[in-house]
Structure 1
Amino acid sequence: MAYRFKRSDATVEHGVRRIAGEQFDRAIATALGGGEPTAIVHEVRTRCKQLRGLVRLVRDDLDGYAAANAAVRDAAAGLSALRDRGAMVETCTRLAEGPGDEDGRRAAALLARAFADRVDAGGTAAETREKLTAFADTMAAARATVQGWQVDGRGFEPVAHGLIRTLGEAEAAMRTARKEREIEAFHAWRKSVKYHWYHARLLSPVWPETIAPQIEAAKGLGELLGHHHDLAVLTEHLAADPAPADVAAIDTAAVAALVATRAAALERDAFALGALLFAERPKRLARRWGKYWKLWRSAAPGGAGRSG
């Protein structure tokens, strides 16, 4: 049940339906199963992101793309508050354990503990289970539509459209982020990079050794931008609620200074890695991967020359 196309998929449409069905089924089963709530929420949200990456790959040729994307997006949104409760803890812990000013790291550790106390007091298991059940119901309704999905176009064509569009959006978003240096610009860049990462993973079987560096670069860039976004969220939180009762004794100014230093370093690394990731123009990459696809498909069950 790997997140990728297979030679045995008769067409792109068949592969999209199969992968989507697997992701829906795993998300629903995880939501309704037992386990630690934080881990469950992380797992099902990951499935939702992979589903949205899948449909975005063929969005220009998938009938009903908007409805499918919205259904998964809205289902995941219902769990965002559960995820956000632990996000501040993770961000402050990374700050405390990483490089930088000692006063800032010490204050970040204290802030992480304060946020952890809020998480422990911020919701019941029953509330979490209720939200996960509602999530499963929404996903089950969307799952029922998968076998009716239709992808127009022949062979690699619908995939090429998605590759070119998403990679082009990621490259444009990087230019905007470099020019504007605004939180929203970096967030848009991160989202498009993540989608390209999903697309490279889906297509990795066509030539694993060649596509692996693209996957690793997109993953690494997505992580850098993800950490950058987490720092931005923390900054906004501290600005809106700089001295709540449980953190009044914490030097939040030292934390803010450390955040600024870390964010600047993340931006430098992200722009350097982005330049490498986008060194090849989107249309050229799509043509090259399309050739790999044809050769890979020609060895699929059903005879030589198959490229559907």
Structure 2
Amino acid sequence: MPFHLIKREPIAPGLRRIAREQIIIGLEDSADTSIPGNRGVHSLRIRCKKLRGLLRLPQPLMGDTFAIEDRRIRRAAKQLAQNRDSQVIARLIASFDGSTPEPAREQQPVSRQDVEASRRILTNCLEAVDDWPLDLHGFYDIAPGFARTYRKCLSAWQKVMVLPSDQNFHRLRKWGKYHWYHIRILERLNKPVLRKRRKRLRKLQLTLGDAHDLVLLQSYLGVREHADEQLLRQVTERKNQLYEMAVSNGRKLFRTPANELVANLSRCWAEQGELNVNNWGQSQAPE
């Protein structure tokens, strides 16, 4: 179940296939009792993020449907977010000094009721996928959505360059993740080049994700009556190191203007040739 368009796969059927597969994976993982509870919930949350990223490719052509689907997928993810921060804080403090913070004793797993509520929302989404208004015939139809997301990325990057605050880095993480998902979906258009970009974007996400977790821990320690000042300094120092790594990576990623990146992908699409749905289906048939 690849999270990318297969070579020569028409865009509309391909996006529907990817969306259906992601929802099914999330539903199966969250229903599998052999998978530890947190991992099943995590899988469901990841599918929600990927779906929201995917929807931003055809967004300009989807009209009100985009807002409806994005809103309910976001609601499904929100059902699963309880106690995540306390779990992150517990894990991080243990990684620094091996102690067990108060949140670790207080945290509770996401209730089965909330998991089932999220699953019901995604089941409804699955039923709606075939009705999404995806009148897409080539890369030029999703280029506006791709460009819009990448421009949000570039805007977030510029804000980081002006003011490298936690808030601005978090915004870069958000839009960088959606751009990463788009590159993953389109990677087969130019695998050697886009694979390199995809790997850099993944590295950026891991770096900024770790930094965001440290922001949570920093905030938690900062409001405690008897804060561990040494630990707080260690956390702040490590967070700043991660930000420096993210900036170094971002200088390579975000030096390409949106128009240039879109033009490059358009050429790749034209060079690989566009097949209609029937021809593509025949080309996938076993010999």
TM-score by length of 2: 0.89
The corresponding residue for 1:48 is: 48
Aligned to 1:273: 249
Distance 1:8 1:200 in 2: 16
Q: Note the C-alpha offset of 1:51.
A: 0.7
Aligned-residue RMSD, C-alpha: 2.1
Say which SS state the counterpart of residue 6 (structure 1) adopts: coil
Shift of 1:231: 1.2
Q: Which residue number corresponds to residue 255 of structure 1?
A: 231
Alpha-carbon separation, structure 1, partners of 2:86 and 2:244: 29
In the aligned structure 1, how far is the partner of 2:93 from the partner of 2:150? 32
C-alpha spacing 1:281/1:93, structure 2 compared with 1 (3 Å): farther
Contact 1:173 1:189 in 2 (8 A): yes
Secondary structure of 2:200's aligned partner? helix
Q: Which runs of 5+ in 1 are unaligned?
A: 97-105, 304-308
Deviation of residue 203 (structure 1)?
A: 0.7
Question: How much has 1:153 moved relative to structure 2?
Answer: 5.0
How many residues are treated as equivalent by the alignment? 277
Q: What is the deviation of 1:7?
A: 3.6
CA distance in 2, matches of 1:279, 1:256: 34
**Cα contact 2:4–2:188 (8 A) shared by 1:** yes
Listed as ranges, the matches of 1:78-117 within 5 Å are 78-94=79-95, 96=96, 106=97, 109-110=98-99, 113-114=100-101
Tell me, what secondary structure is at the counterpart of 1:133? helix
5 Å matches for 1:1-308?
A: 1-7=1-7, 9=9, 11-34=10-33, 35-63=35-63, 64-94=65-95, 96=96, 106=97, 109-110=98-99, 113-114=100-101, 118-119=103-104, 121-123=106-108, 128-240=111-223, 242-243=224-225, 252-298=228-274, 302=279
Residue 298 (structure 1) shift: 4.1
Per-residue Cα deviation, 1:47-89 (whole angstroms, up to 9, x for no partner):
1111111001221122411111111111011111143342113
Provide the C-alpha distance between the structure 2 equivalents of 1:129 and 1:119, rounded to a whole number of angstroms. 20
TM-score by length of 1: 0.83
Secondary structure of the residue aligned to 2:55 is helix
User: Against the structure 1 CA distance between its residues 41 and 82, is the aligned structure 2 distance closer, same or farther, given a 3 Å change threshold?
Assistant: farther
Query: For the Cα contact (< 8 Å) 1:13–1:150, is it kept in 2?
Result: no
> In structure 2, how many angstroms separate the alpha carbons of the residues matched to 1:82 and 1:136?
19
Question: How much does 1:24 deviate?
Answer: 1.2
Q: Distance in 1 between matches of 2:190 and 2:156?
A: 28
Q: CA 1:146–1:298 in structure 2 vs 1: closer, same or farther (change >3 Å)?
A: closer
Query: Is the contact made by 1:167 and 1:196 (CA closer than 8 Å) also made in structure 2?
Result: yes
Aligned mates of 1:150, 1:291 — CA distance in 2: 26
- Structure 1 window deviating more from structure 2 (127-136 vs 192-201): it is 127-136
State the SS of the aligned residue for 1:291. helix
Distance between the aligned counterparts of 2:196 and 2:261, measured in 1? 13
- Tell me if the contact between 1:21 and 1:146 (Cα under 8 Å) persists in the aligned partners: yes
Compared with structure 1, are the counterparts of its residues 93 and 174 closer, same or farther at alpha carbon in structure 2 (3 Å cutoff)? farther
Partner residue, 1:101: none
C-alpha distance in structure 2 between counterparts of 1:138 and 1:239, whole Å: 37
**Structure 2 gap ranges (5+):** 281-287
